[in-house]
């Protein structure tokens, strides 16, 4: 079972669906498109409010002309040891200035959630039983001091990030 979690708690009735051969968006549900599907649809319409799924090998820079039309970008983590989604999040938040919802989907583990939050993720599609339990108890692991700059500053302030941030 997949549940959507944000820092405010679990979200009920989330409309976004990653479509598969077995599962299609129905009724009030909304499909998360691939980058290619998004570009094709966006180039033939003036619609806004799209959702897109970014896979590890995708080039997120292709989304730049369409970011103002996106309501949700879901970044796929197919395995816990595939960190390309962190790079996608950093590119979207820092370089491309994406401001709407950024969701981690796939193999989201509890120990990665605080790091994902720092990279700019604000929602998580969680299936891991341990992660679901810990999130329901509001028990996140954490490190209070960070050296690297990210989309979100450390709780105690900037820490040492000023050393690496360029103007």
- Distance from C-alpha of 106 to C-alpha of 128, rounded to nearest angstrom: 9
Instruction: Check whether 44 has a pLDDT greater than 90.
Output: yes
Stretch (H or E) spanning 106:
strand 101-106
Distance CA 160, CA 147 (A): 5
What predicted TM-score, i.e. pTM, was given to this entire model? 0.85
Superfamily holding 3-139:
Aldolase class I (3.20.20.70)
For the four alpha carbons of 84, 7, 108 and 20, in that order, the dihedral sign comes to negative
Where in the chain are the domains?
A: 3-139
Place 81 in a pLDDT band, splitting at 50, 70 and 90: confident
Residues sharing a CB contact under 8 Å with residue 141, sequence separation 6 or more, in sequence order: 110, 111, 113, 114
Q: Which residue has the higher pLDDT, 91 or 23?
A: 91
Contact 132, 3 (CB under 8 A): yes
């Amino acid at each position: 079972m997949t549940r959507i979690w944000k820092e405010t708690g679990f979200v009920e009735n989330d409309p976004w669906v990653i479509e598969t051969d077995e599962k299609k968006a129905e009724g009030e549900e909304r499909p998360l498109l691939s980058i290619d599907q998004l570009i094709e649809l966006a180039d033939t319409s003036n619609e806004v409010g799209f959702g897109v799924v970014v896979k590890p090998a995708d080039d997120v820079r292709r989304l730049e002309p369409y970011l103002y039309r996106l309501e949700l970008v879901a970044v796929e983590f197919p395995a816990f040891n595939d960190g390309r989604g962190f790079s996608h999040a950093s590119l979207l938040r820092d370089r491309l200035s994406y401001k709407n919802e950024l969701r981690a989907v796939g193999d989201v583990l509890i120990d990665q959630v605080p790091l994902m939050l720092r990279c700019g993720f604000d929602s998580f599609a969680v299936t891991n039983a341990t992660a679901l339990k810990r999130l329901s108890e509001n028990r996140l692991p954490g490190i209070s001091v960070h050296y690297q700059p990210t989309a979100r500053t450390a709780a105690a302030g900037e820490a040492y990030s000023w050393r690496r941030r360029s103007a």
